[in-house]
Chains A and B, each alone.
Chain A
Amino acid sequence: MLFNRNDEIDLGDKKVIIKELLGEGGQGEVYLVGYDGGKYALKVYKNEVSTDFRYNLKNNIEKGSPSEHFLWPKRLIDFDDGRIGYLMDVRPKNFVSFVSYLTGKNTFASREIMLSWCIDLCTAFKKLHEMGYSYQDLNDGSFFLDPDTGALLICDNDNVTADKKNLGILGKMRYMAPEIVRNEMMPDVHSDRFSLGVILFMALCLGNPYEGERLKNYDIIDEKAEYELYGSNPIFVYHKTDKSNRPIRGYHSSVLRRWAYIPLYIKEAFHRTFVDGLSDRENGRTTEIEWLRLLLRYRDELVRCPHCGYEFVYGFGEKVPVDKCPNCGKPKKEVCILGLGKHRIVLDLGKRITEAHLDKFSAEYNRAAAIVIANRTTLRCGGSN
């Protein structure tokens, strides 16, 4: 430990008082501290960092956070021994890690809320990219969620840099774009976009898009195996023509179960990123704005089974019509459909209508402008579709 409880750090104008060690990683230590009359988190780097790294961090602090979703560095601290650190807000208690969602320890209150989280994620990336940043070291450990509201928090923002610059960390291979794994390029918006696809696939399908039958080719999953799986020869598990890497029955059960009920347009968007996006990094990968439209559409057409509570798509865009609940098999309920321009919203209980539905230039995909508070399923609907 670099600091002990009650240690004081004098910043000239204000003091930082160490309260407890919150965590430790390869790079540094994070403490809970008192500062300016409130509680903050302090990250301290164990080793001296490069001038570029410090300059970048300082610059990011001055430019400010892209959106409320980021736990953004707030104040840079230079210690006497040459080390640096920074202050940021403390992660509120209602947030749990995305890791704990993936491992089954936590789950979202509903699929609708899970999709809202995914929408927030795309919004956050869109704003980050609009500011000319890219996230770079993107992995499962960076994201947090409120299981009840679907709110998003992104941590570890000290590696965020201007597009196409890199300060030494490229990330975990499992989440990286193949051209970065192969060390052909520096991370940028397009590699971020690929990683965003991976995180969305994990959120929706509980699996990795490139882990399937081919795992069996390796006795041990080491760096060489990972290089092949994610770098030199990645094959999407649901590749339309190359079926050599399908999820393994009895091992990738979550993916197998979940992929079946994902709407076609979401499947296509994944296929684009994970197949076309391998060779065409600039135009092959589904962009944030495309994801936002598709995820909104997915959420709009969710309907809850009145018998078992399962949420599934109404089936506007499916090849095979959806007439019964995929979970319990009982018939789908009749629900009013609201048509707003291109949007078709299934007016099930609790369904939200947002500004983005009403104004195609709005970036407000989550905050409700209206909510369905009663739903008489016996009512005859005269929707505009």
Chain B
Amino acid sequence: MMQDRMLGEGIARQELNLLFVIDNSGSMEGEKLGAVNNAIRDVMSIMPEIQEDTSDATIKISALKFNDKAEWIYPEPQGVEEFKWRDLGAEGGTNLSGAYDELAKWLSKKQNGGQMPDIGGVAPIIILMTDGLPTSYDWEEHLNALKKKGWFKVALKYALAIEIDTEEAMDVLKKFTGNPEMVLKVYTAEALRKVINVIAVTASKVKSNSASMGVGGDAATNNEMAQTEIAEKLDEIDDVEW
């Protein structure tokens, strides 16, 4: 019997971008970066299932590492099956300004030289993870430039403060997310692994579906829904504070 179409031909889908921004400066060496490497691997093993459950959106993944300079792991966002993680090593300083510049370039439509879809993109998810103060002192200027990007404004942004205890370093991250509730202090490698997993997986699951509505009409946005679900799950993890 002949099939009713060629396999692979499918429905046009919106595009959901998930971005990891990872500090791999020297101080991340050891347990911290080990936990990040493990966590991203965990996330990637679950992503195909999340993708399989929806025909509303295609999930695309990008990862940016930064130390003395910032560099994308892949030259363009990858599908859940294509994105293969290679463990990061640690060295150098914490050039957050460079990372913000790269993010700003990435968060434009393809037709404008960036990596976001020209048609039918949904608000991205950005997870920043770092363990200390930036060594680039002009980070705030670069953040202000990044904040002008529409894709950045609408993104669901989380920042993970890995064993950070100074207010000054926390402020850097609060300015990134624009919301102190989206900055999570993580104290152990195990907690870090779990937190990355919960945020990446839950946010992708919620946001890869068309917006849901409940009775009452004023439906929560997909970002808010993801936030609520993430908060519920974070409650179950020890050694996290927000």
Give me the interface of A with B, judged by CB distance under 8 Å: 26, 97-100, 102-111, 113-114, 139-141, 166, 168-176, 180-181, 183, 186, 202, 206-208, 211, 215-216, 219-223, 226, 248, 251-255, 304, 309-311
Interface string of B63-96 (1 = CB under 8 A from A): 0000000000000000000000000000000000
List 10 A-B pairs, minimum CB-CB distance, nearest first: A183-B217, A104-B10, A174-B210, A309-B2, A102-B55, A172-B210, A111-B4, A170-B213, A103-B10, A223-B211
Additional pairs, 12, CB under 8 Å, beyond known A108-B4, A173-B213? A97-B53, A103-B13, A107-B7, A109-B4, A170-B214, A175-B210, A180-B213, A183-B217, A221-B122, A226-B210, A254-B12, A311-B2
Q: Is the CB of A104 within 8 A of B211?
A: no
Q: Is the CB of B4 within 8 A of A104?
A: no
Residues of A within 8 A of B229 (CB): 26
Interface size class of B (residues with CB under 8 A): 35 or more
Residues of A within 8 A of B214 (CB): 168-170
Q: Is B30 an interface residue (CB 8 A)?
A: no
Closest Cβ of chain B: how far from A352's Cβ, in Å? 14
- Can you report 23 A-B residue pairs in the complex whose CB atoms are below 8 A from each other? A26-B225, A102-B10, A104-B9, A105-B52, A109-B1, A140-B54, A168-B214, A168-B215, A169-B212, A173-B213, A174-B210, A206-B9, A208-B11, A220-B122, A221-B121, A222-B123, A223-B221, A223-B222, A226-B211, A252-B12, A254-B9, A304-B2, A311-B2
Nearest to B201 among chain A residues (CB) is A24
Determine the distance from Cα of A253 to Cα of B11 in the docked complex, in whole angstroms.
Answer: 8
Given B5, B14, B119, B211, which contacts A173 in the complex, CB threshold below 8 Å?
B211
Q: Is B219 an interface residue (CB 8 A)?
A: yes
Q: Is B169 an interface residue (CB 8 A)?
A: no
Closest Cβ of chain A: how far from B50's Cβ, in Å? 11
Give me the interface of B with A, judged by CB distance under 8 Å: 1-14, 52-56, 109, 119-123, 150-151, 154, 206, 209-217, 219, 221-222, 225, 229
Nearest to B124 among chain A residues (CB) is A220
Closest Cβ of chain B: how far from A41's Cβ, in Å? 16
Of B13, B119, B123, B229, the most chain A CB neighbours within 10 A belong to B119
Closest Cβ of chain B: how far from A98's Cβ, in Å? 8
Q: Is the CB of A220 within 8 A of B154?
A: yes
Q: Is the CB of B119 within 8 A of A215?
A: yes
**A114 with B213, Cβ < 8 A, contacts A100-B52, A102-B11 known:** no
Residues of A within 8 A of B154 (CB): 220, 222
Residues of B within 8 A of A253 (CB): 9, 12
Nearest to B223 among chain A residues (CB) is A222
